[in-house]
Amino acid sequence: MKTHSDFQSSQDTAISALRAAGVLPVVTVDSAAQGVAIARALAQGGLGTIEIALRTPAARDAIAAIKQELPEVIVGAGTVRVPEDIERARSAGADFLVTPGTTAALAEALVESRIPATPAAATPSELLELAARGFRIAKLFPVGALGGLKLIRLLQGPLPDLLLAPSGGITEAETPEYLAQPNVVCVGGSWMVPRDWLAAGKHDEVAAAAARARRLVDAAALA
């Protein structure tokens, strides 16, 4: 029987995984083989936790293939939009879930699933709703359009116990300042996996960008 403590344990797992990741690559794939190649390049650069967006027909097959061929990589399913996506992600082997926004029905399903999850919100009211349901980490999306660092800092006062994983419009150059905020555990981004690089198979560039991101995370941890 699932209990409230199971849900809180899953939140602990989500927080620990994203805090250790620091930077979460958000990847859109066209095939399972492409997903494996990208995950391998990211892991080579030091980013061993990734999010595969459920935006293409290949996404679930890519999650399953990565988990089979690179079991050490922690793979999340992103763009989880409806409760049915939760079971689809679970069956593919996803380690955690990330949403682009959170309806009441989706929030309830995430709590019931007990899968480590980071639901998204865009306003203080939405963040309060998530906190009231017991979520202790939320994705702030799309942070670049919402006010960026200024909003992150303003939220610290009224929501000191809610950790954030901002995503949407963050650049490599901005990452250190985001990671320096006490309420930020991780930033999501796609600057290390641009679609033109992926289409051209530029995996060396992906690995190099991942290595730069890893250095930023490590530097933030020492600051």
Collect all residues with Cβ–Cβ distance below 8 Å to 134 and sequence separation of at least 6.
Answer: 4, 7, 8, 11, 111
Rounded to an integer, what distance in angstroms lies between the CA atom of residue 27 and that of residue 54? 9
CA torsion sign for 3, 18, 110, 71 is negative
CA torsion sign for 57, 70, 115, 153 is negative
Partnered with residue 25 across adjacent β-strands are: 189
Rounded to an integer, what distance in angstroms lies between the CA atom of residue 75 and that of residue 123? 27
Tokens matching residue 131: 């906190």
Residues annotated as catalytic are 51, 139
